[in-house]
Structure 1
């Protein structure tokens, strides 16, 4: 059985209208997502706007999510930071707070050499908590290729990879060349990924449509394609927003449409245009109409 199986929601962070973290709302959203059937929670990722947090905020966000989960589902904590030392400190904090694992990017500030990438993961591995390596060559300078992942996978605590390249062939190569669990990293492969062996999905849009995301992933994993396809195709326009640089604003607006408002995004992220919001609203309405039929 996979260690990180099913739909893990990459959490947004609720803010008040004056851009303070709304911890009470964060707790409520986590509780709602668990009641809707999601399989795990991932705080302090890019969708959660971790880079805008003070250290105190980041620690309290992680602790709030773990308290809200209360052992009902696993919590996997984002550990990205400018230096290996800082990343290790956040991994240690996650472990001490009771997290089930961490999601770990390679060095993020420049294009590192191979030996630097391996030393970075070695340092995180030494903390002693399960690790999901995070490959996101769209937004960061490093591409964790299947061959490189095979080397990273030699560290005993590296058990999975969040694959965000957007290329389904990468998942095939990783499954063929490594012993890692593969977790879909970009929402618009939520059908294809489980069909070919991905055991998990670290998801964005299921912040707003958790029950529908869980249903889609389960059907795809079970090979029930005739049932999965209508759900997938109607949600696919929403899934495409997850691969946009403005994914935070898009998904927060989807949550508002779903009756789960979470406030604004922190600057430098600003509100989108009315045309963009209208596009999301139309796509959301279409998705909800089909899944509730």
Structure 2
């Protein structure tokens, strides 16, 4: 039985103009995404700007999302942290508050040995909550290769992987070498991933276009390429932004264009240039026009 099935939106974090967390808007975002068909929510990830949170903010963000969702869809909490001890703290907090699982990065501050990576996940495994290992070698020093994931899959609670390498061949290798569920992590493989066996998608652009994202993933899983391909190609320019370092600024601007503004990004993330915003606007208009 698949545990993390379908489109799980990696939540942005709404901020007020003074960069304070807008908790009420965060709750409204949860409601809107669920109404639009999102099958799960993931606060506290890279797109959510978790690294800028204070301890108190991170605690309240988790609790705000879980209270607002109230069991309507599964909530998976990001646990990325500078130390294993802190990651275990956030995993324990997620479990105590009723999360469906955690999305767990390997050690993030330096290039760890394989044994250190394994020990990190062993400590998280002891918390007793389902774990989606998060492989993002684009932004972090560790690449959770299929062979390493096969070893981590021996841990009782490691049940899935968010695969963000951008290499579609990884889906085949992970499914061949382990029993892990594969969740595509990079938006511009939202078509290819499910065609190759991914059963979930932890998504970015669907913060702004949730209905289109859910429909695309469903069609791709069902192998209905003639219907899926136009929807995919209409959004592909937007999806490429999810794979770049300015993904947060780009997706927050997409949300503004979608009529659901969520405020600025926190420094060190700065606003994009006028040229960059214009490119996003044109890509967004193309995506919207294709379904109207």
TM range, smaller chain? over 0.9
SS at match of 1:288: helix
Partner of 2:162: 162
- Counterpart CA distance in 1 for 2:154 and 2:27 is 36
SS at match of 1:162: strand
Q: Which consecutive unaligned segments of at least 5 residues does structure 1 have?
A: none
Partner of 1:124: 124
Count of aligned positions: 292
- Counterpart CA distance in 2 for 1:81 and 1:195 is 33
Structure 1 position 263 matched with structure 2 position 258: no
Partner of 1:217: 217
Deviation (angstroms), 1:68? 1.4
Partner of 1:206: 206
Q: What pairs with 1:63-212 in structure 2 (closer than 5 Å)?
A: 63-212=63-212
- Counterpart CA distance in 1 for 2:109 and 2:204 is 24
Deviation (angstroms), 1:4? 0.2
Partner of 1:275: 275
SS at match of 2:244: coil
- Counterpart CA distance in 2 for 1:100 and 1:12 is 19
Q: What pairs with 1:41-60 in structure 2 (closer than 5 Å)?
A: 41-60=41-60
Deviation (angstroms), 1:60? 0.4
Deviation (angstroms), 1:200? 0.1
Deviation (angstroms), 1:193? 0.4
Deviation (angstroms), 1:69? 1.0
- CA displacement, residues 92-112 of structure 1 (integer Å, 9 cap, x when unaligned): 011111100000011000010
Stretch of structure 1 that moved more, 208-217 or 60-69 = 60-69
- Counterpart CA distance in 2 for 1:260 and 1:49 is 18
- Counterpart CA distance in 2 for 1:283 and 1:150 is 38
- Counterpart CA distance in 2 for 1:259 and 1:27 is 16
Deviation (angstroms), 1:67? 1.1
Would you identify which runs of 4 or more consecutive aligned residues in structure 1 move more than 4 Å?
none
Q: TM-score, normalised by structure 1?
A: 0.99
- CA displacement, residues 192-240 of structure 1 (integer Å, 9 cap, x when unaligned): 0001110000000000000000000000000000000000001000000
Partner of 2:32: 32
Q: TM-score, normalised by structure 2?
A: 0.99
- Counterpart CA distance in 1 for 2:263 and 2:110 is 32
Partner of 1:12: 12
SS at match of 2:132: strand
- Counterpart CA distance in 2 for 1:29 and 1:145 is 34
Q: Which consecutive unaligned segments of at least 5 residues does structure 2 have?
A: none
SS at match of 1:102: strand
CA RMSD of aligned residues (A): 0.5
- CA displacement, residues 159-192 of structure 1 (integer Å, 9 cap, x when unaligned): 0000000000011100110000000000000000
